[in-house]
Each structure stands twice: as structure tokens, then as C-alpha cells.
């Protein structure tokens, strides 16, 4: 399994100059050969192949001295990128009109294109220690350690962000060390008031990073709009704004990673609502809160981490009335559709339901019900053998969630009670 570790580099002055030079040279090579390929095609009606370009690159390095100052892999990878851009373009040509997405390869511009270069591993030219990364030509570069980097390095991409930071994305081939097996299962109700409420009645607060950084963002936007075009202050204002956005993203990602990792570590089955975030964001009143909560990113994290550690992530249909159903007797209370109703007493069984906790318990039992149906031979297509084994051990705890008030109520009985209460 391949995994990319992103770290923020702390280059010294010389290293910073060399990184910028490498990015510049990679761009130069890309543009040089793009022009050459175009000229060659116009003159000969033939394509200049990758191998031909590669040979020409060796000659070019003899002509232009400064190309030798930078990492040779950066230049080679640039040629490979160009080759890939051509391939994508030709593959796209074969598609039907309206489905085309890739244009003819464009020249890379200094301030618009992605500022990066990629280098590959050969003979220990790349090494990682506790907080230093060895890169070709640059030598040892310090970085901020935020996570353990494990596995064998395949390649490293160095990027200069719009906020002026240097990020190394270290791609490693790694055996994932799986978390120990556990038997707990959990239901999650994702919300806005709280980020989520679990079926264990744990509430995780919503950090709302956009809201808390709103003043800073507003100030940074104002400074940018007031600065004169082309001035030094404008460059500074741009960097400041990009840094503020970057900070929000980092804070949120950190929160999402920690939360998803803990939930995966502690539980073997996690049941969640299958949210259609795109649809929900159309509701403008909720839009900012929902984008801020970045649920889809969170669910993606849960998905791949569940995959790594042999956990099951079971989604429950969006239309399953998790909030409105009484966890105790199964009565569906239409009044609970009102988002403001935070707690309610069930008119049938009298159970007192806290909105979010009740929903998470229902999501758990519905998720387990779907899994039971799958493992009972109705549909086992989507479940791996490892997951099935896991499910058998975990499902033992399921009945607790199904009848929280201690008695098993059959649907027929519920219907009778509804009629009795004069609701249906
Ligand atoms: Zn009830």
C-alpha cells in the first residue's frame, strides 16, 4: 500500500534558493520541450518521442550550465509529465464531444502553474530521519515533525505553496500496522450543533474554524482589495490571505484526522448516515456550517482507515428517519422533523429521547441490521471475509442497541399502540 506523508520543510537560505531553482528548471525543461515538440510536428508531421527528448535533454545540459545545478530527476520527471500531458490529450481526442476534459498541453507560467518538482529514489539519494529529509543536491533539510514516516520511500514531490511555504510529499510503500482487534460497534450522528454524537453518548464539539477565523479572513481580504495592483504590499497581502486559508485547512484536517483515527482504533463497526452533502449545501442557511464541518472529508478518512485496519464502515440510507424514530419502541414521531426540537418524550412508550443520542443509537441498530442481512446470505457481495469474521464477533453486542428500554417490541404492537393513542 502506498501512502503519502506531507511535511513542511524548513530549508536554510541556500536550500530555499536551490528548491526555487529546481522548480524553475523543471518548468523550463517542460516548456522547452513542449515548444520543440510543436516545431518538430509542424516541420515533419511527426511526434518527438520521449526517448528522443531524453537524449536531447542530455545535450541541452551540456549547453546550458545551470541545468546541471539542480536534481536530474526533477528534469526527467518534467519530461515524463509532458509525455503524460500529451497522452491524456490524445486519449481525450477519442472521446465523444461534450465529454472532453483535457486540452492541448499548455506552457507553464511562473505564477499560475503548480510550483513543484518531483524526485525519485535511487541508491539512498533520499533518506528520512526523525526530523530531517535528505534530498538530491539539497542535502539534509529539516522539517516539522507531525507524524511518523514509515515504509520505503518511492519518490518525493517538493511544492512551494501560494503562501510561500515548502511542502514535501513523501510517497512511501508501507505495510500498514493494523490496530488490535476490538469488538465495540458505534453509531455516529453527524450534526451542526455538535460535530457528532455517538451512541455511547459522547458529544464531540464542532470546532467551526471558518467562523472563528472569520475576522482574520475578512481583514486579509480587505487588505488585499485595498492594495495597489503590482505593488509589494499586494504580494504581501496575497501571501497573508493564503496563509490564513491554509491555517484553517490545517486546523480542520488535524481535527478530522485525530477524530477518525480514534474512532477507528476503538471500534470494529462504525455506522453513519450516508449524507448527501452536495444537496445539503444548496440550503444556504446551513451551507457555511456544513462546508465548515467538512463531513465528506471526514467520511473519506473513516473509509480508508477502516480499509487499512479491517474495520467496517456501514452507511445508513439518508432517508432512514434516524432522528424521528423512538429508539425504544420504533414509533416515528413526525414532530421531530423540526430541527429545533432537541429532546422529546415518546407518546407511545413514554421514553425520553435526546435528539442526537437517539439518532446515533438508531443509526447503529439500522447499520447492524443491514450488516446482519448481508451476512445472512441476502447480500454478501460487498463484505470481505475478514470483515465478515469481524462482524460475527461484534454483532454479539447488537441487541443492546436494538431494545434500549429492555423489551422487544414487535411492529404490530407498535401499530396497535399508535391507534390507541389516536395518533395514526
Ligand atoms: Zn417510544
Q: Give the chain's domain count.
A: 2
- Does 138 lie in the same domain as 194? no
| Ligand 1 midpoint to CA 331 (Å) | 5
The pLDDT of residue 392 is 52
| Ligand 1 midpoint to CA 361 (Å) | 13
Q: Which domain holds residue 66?
A: 2-173
The pLDDT of residue 10 is 96
Residues in CB range of 298: below 8 A, 6 or more apart: 190, 256, 259, 260
The pLDDT tens digits of the residues spanning 327-368 come to 999 999 999 888 888 999 999 999 999 999 999 999 999 999
The pLDDT tens digits of the residues spanning 166-193 come to 999 999 997 878 999 999 999 999 887 7
| Ligand 1 midpoint to CA 330 (Å) | 6
- Does 190 lie in the same domain as 151? no
| Ligand 1 midpoint to CA 286 (Å) | 30
Q: Confirm whether 285 is domain-assigned.
A: yes
| Ligand 1 midpoint to CA 327 (Å) | 7
Q: Confirm whether 229 is domain-assigned.
A: no
Across 251-260, average pLDDT = 92
Q: Confirm whether 247 is domain-assigned.
A: no
Across 282-308, average pLDDT = 77
Q: Is 274 helix (H, G, I), strand (E, B) or coil?
A: coil
Q: Confirm whether 180 is domain-assigned.
A: no
Q: Confirm whether 343 is domain-assigned.
A: yes
The pLDDT tens digits of the residues spanning 211-225 come to 778 888 889 899 999
Q: Is 253 a catalytic residue?
A: no
Q: Is 189 a catalytic residue?
A: yes
- Does 392 lie in the same domain as 260? yes
The pLDDT of residue 421 is 38
Q: Confirm whether 218 is domain-assigned.
A: no
- Does 41 lie in the same domain as 134? yes
362: Cα separation from own chain's centroid? 27
Cell numbers representing residue 95 in the block: 472521446
Q: Is residue 251 pLDDT above 70, yes or no?
A: yes
- Does 195 lie in the same domain as 101? no
- Does 37 lie in the same domain as 72? yes
The confidence band for 416, taking pLDDT boundaries of 50, 70 and 90, is: very low
pTM greater than 0.75 (yes/no):
no
- Does 198 lie in the same domain as 116? no
| Ligand 1 midpoint to CA 224 (Å) | 56
- Angle at 379 (CA atoms; ends 368, 389), nearest 5 degrees: 60
- Does 306 lie in the same domain as 283? yes
Residues in CB range of 64: below 8 A, 6 or more apart: none
| Ligand 1 midpoint to CA 406 (Å) | 12
- Does 73 lie in the same domain as 51? yes
Cell numbers representing residue 261 in the block: 483515527
- Does 152 lie in the same domain as 291? no
The pLDDT tens digits of the residues spanning 84-96 come to 999 888 888 777 6
Catalytic pick from 39, 175, 177, 189? 189
Q: Is residue 272 pLDDT above 90, yes or no?
A: yes
Q: Is residue 24 pLDDT above 90, yes or no?
A: yes
The pLDDT tens digits of the residues spanning 144-166 come to 988 888 889 999 999 998 888 99
The confidence band for 127, taking pLDDT boundaries of 50, 70 and 90, is: very high
- Does 197 lie in the same domain as 106? no
> Cα separation of 272 and 190, whole Å?
8
Q: Confirm whether 353 is domain-assigned.
A: yes
The residue with greater pLDDT, 100 or 75, is 75
Q: Is residue 403 pLDDT above 50, yes or no?
A: no
The confidence band for 39, taking pLDDT boundaries of 50, 70 and 90, is: very high
Catalytic pick from 356, 366, 407, 420? 356
The pLDDT of residue 289 is 61
Name the average pLDDT for the chain.
Answer: 83
Query: Which residues have C-beta under 5 Å from ligand 1, the single-atom ion?
Result: 326, 328-329, 331, 346, 348-349, 351
| Ligand 1 midpoint to CA 196 (Å) | 23
The pLDDT of residue 92 is 80
- Ranking 205-209, 242-246, 382-386 by mean pLDDT, the lowest is 382-386
Q: Quick count: other Cβ atoms within 10 Å of Cβ 333?
A: 20
Q: Is 190 helix (H, G, I), strand (E, B) or coil?
A: strand
- Angle at 322 (CA atoms; ends 319, 323), nearest 5 degrees: 115
Q: Confirm whether 178 is domain-assigned.
A: no
Pair 263, 302: CB distance under 8 Å: yes
Q: Is residue 279 pLDDT above 70, yes or no?
A: no
The DSSP 8-state label assigned to residue 382 in this structure reads: T
Instruction: State the distance between the two ends of the chain, measured CA to CA, in whole angstroms.
Output: 54
| Ligand 1 midpoint to CA 203 (Å) | 23
Catalytic pick from 92, 223, 254, 273? 273
The pLDDT of residue 290 is 59
- Does 25 lie in the same domain as 142? yes
Distances (CA, A) of 380 to 260, 392, 394, 397: 26, 13, 17, 21
Amino acid at each position: 500500500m502506498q501512502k503519502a506523508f506531507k511535511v513542511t520543510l524548513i530549508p536554510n537560505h541556500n536550500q530555499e534558493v536551490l528548491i526555487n531553482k529546481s522548480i524553475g528548471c523543471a518548468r523550463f525543461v517542460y516548456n522547452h520541450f513542449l515548444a520543440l515538440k510543436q516545431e518538430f510536428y509542424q516541420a515533419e508531421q511527426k511526434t518527438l518521442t520521449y526517448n528522443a527528448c531524453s537524449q536531447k535533454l542530455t545535450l541541452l545540459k551540456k549547453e546550458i550550465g545551470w541545468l546541471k545545478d539542480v536534481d536530474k530527476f526533477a528534469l526527467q520527471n518534467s519530461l515524463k509529465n509532458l509525455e503524460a500531458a500529451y497522452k491524456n490529450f490524445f486519449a481525450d481526442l477519442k472521446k465523444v464531444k461534450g465529454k472532453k476534459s483535457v486540452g492541448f498541453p499548455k506552457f507553464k507560467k511562473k505564477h499560475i502553474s503548480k510550483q513543484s518538482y518531483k524526485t525519485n529514489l535511487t541508491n539512498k539519494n533520499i533518506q528520512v530521519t526523525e526530523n530531517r529529509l535528505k534530498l538530491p543536491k539539497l542535502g539534509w533539510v529539516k522539517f516539522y515533525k507531525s507524524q511518523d514516516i514509515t515504509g520505503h520511500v518511492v519518490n518525493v514531490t517538493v511544492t512551494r505553496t501560494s503562501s510561500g511555504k515548502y511542502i514535501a510529499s513523501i510517497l512511501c510503500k508501507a505495510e500498514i500496522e493494523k490496530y488490535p482487534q476490538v469488538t465495540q460497534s458505534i453509531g455516529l450522528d453527524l450534526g451542526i450543533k455538535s460535530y457528532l454524537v455517538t451512541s455511547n453518548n459522547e458529544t464531540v464539539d464542532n470546532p467551526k474554524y471558518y467562523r472563528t477565523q472569520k475576522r482574520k479572513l475578512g481583514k486579509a481580504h480587505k487588505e488585499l482589495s485595498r492594495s495597489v495592483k503590482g505593488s509589494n504590499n499586494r504580494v504581501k497581502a496575497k501571501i497573508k490571505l493564503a496563509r490564513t486559508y491554509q491555517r484553517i485547512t490545517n486546523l480542520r484536517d488535524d481535527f478530522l484526522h485525530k477524530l477518525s483515527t480514534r474512532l477507528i482504533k476503538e471500534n470494529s463497526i462504525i455506522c453513519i448516515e450516508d449524507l448527501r452533502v452536495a444537496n445539503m449545501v444548496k440550503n444556504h442557511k446551513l451551507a457555511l456550517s456544513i462546508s465548515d464541518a467538512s463531513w465528506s472529508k471526514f467520511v473519506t478518512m473513516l473509509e480508508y482507515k477502516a480499509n487499512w485496519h479491517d474495520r467496517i464502515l456501514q452507511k445508513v440510507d439518508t432517508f432512514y428517519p434516524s432522528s424521528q424514530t423512538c429508539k425504544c419502541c420504533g414509533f416515528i414521531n413526525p414532530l421531530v422533523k423540526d430541527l429545533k426540537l432537541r429532546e422529546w418524550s415518546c407518546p407511545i412508550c413514554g421514553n425520553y429521547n435526546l435528539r442526537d443520542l437517539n439518532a446515533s443509537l438508531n443509526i447503529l441498530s439500522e447499520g447492524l441490521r443491514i450488516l446482519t442481512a448481508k451476512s445472512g446470505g441476502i447480500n454478501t457481495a460487498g463484505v470481505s471475509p475478514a470483515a465478515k469474521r469481524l462482524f460475527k464477533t461484534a454483532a454479539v453486542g447488537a441487541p443492546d442497541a436494538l431494545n434500549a428500554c429492555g423489551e422487544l417490541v414487535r411492529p404490530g404492537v407498535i401499530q396497535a399502540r399508535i391507534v390507541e393513542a389516536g395518533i395514526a
